[in-house]
Amino acid sequence: MGLLSKDLEIRLGILLLQSIKLAYELSDGRVRPPADRFPVLLLRVQGRRTGTLRTVALTYVAEGDRLAVIGSRGGDDRPPAWLLNLEANPVAEVQVGRHRWPVHARVAEGSERERLWRGANRFGPYDHYQSRTQRRIPVVVLEPQHGDERQPEP
């Protein structure tokens, strides 16, 4: 067992991403971690129950015009709310830096999932998170919607 309990580690990770989200939103994407060391995007999804727009900061892996995010919730046995919202409605908006565009979400499978999972492990301890839960942590691909093929800025 590590120095922190699983629950405390999850809560600290959520607080870190919430503070990044706040700085990101207040600065309209001007203040964010360095993309080469800790790439973070804002994902805006519609709440499945309320219809309210929800925003979450997530690390991502870029592959061409597609971005991939990991539904880990720090290895919690419960999936993150943003993932449940995307399952209900896969249409969302991404913000990288000051650029925003609509995306369609889908869960990666097979070799695509494995490749993106390996890429995500460069920026976060996702193998560790997977070892802490029985659920298979999904890799979610965010594809530009309707031919909007914007590239994330560095």
Q: What DSSP letter does each residue of 35-58 carry, written as one string?
A: TTTS-EEEEEEE-TTT--EEEEEE
* CATH 2.30.110.10, domain 6-144, yes or no: yes
Instruction: Reply yes or no on whether the pLDDT at 113 is more than 70.
Output: yes
- Beta-carbon count within 10 A of 72 CB: 27
pLDDT at 154 over 50: no
pLDDT > 70? residue 150: no
Q: Using alpha carbons only, what angle is made at residue 141 by residues 87 and 128, rounded to the nearest 5 degrees?
A: 90
Percent of residues, the chain, with pLDDT higher than 70: 90
Tens of pLDDT along 44-84?
Answer: 999 999 999 999 999 999 999 999 999 999 899 999 999 99
Q: What is the mean pLDDT of residues 121-142?
A: 95
**C-alpha closest to that of 44 among 27, 24, 65:** 24
Which residues fall within 8 angstroms of residue 39, CB to CB, at 6 or more apart?
33, 59, 60, 61, 62, 123, 152
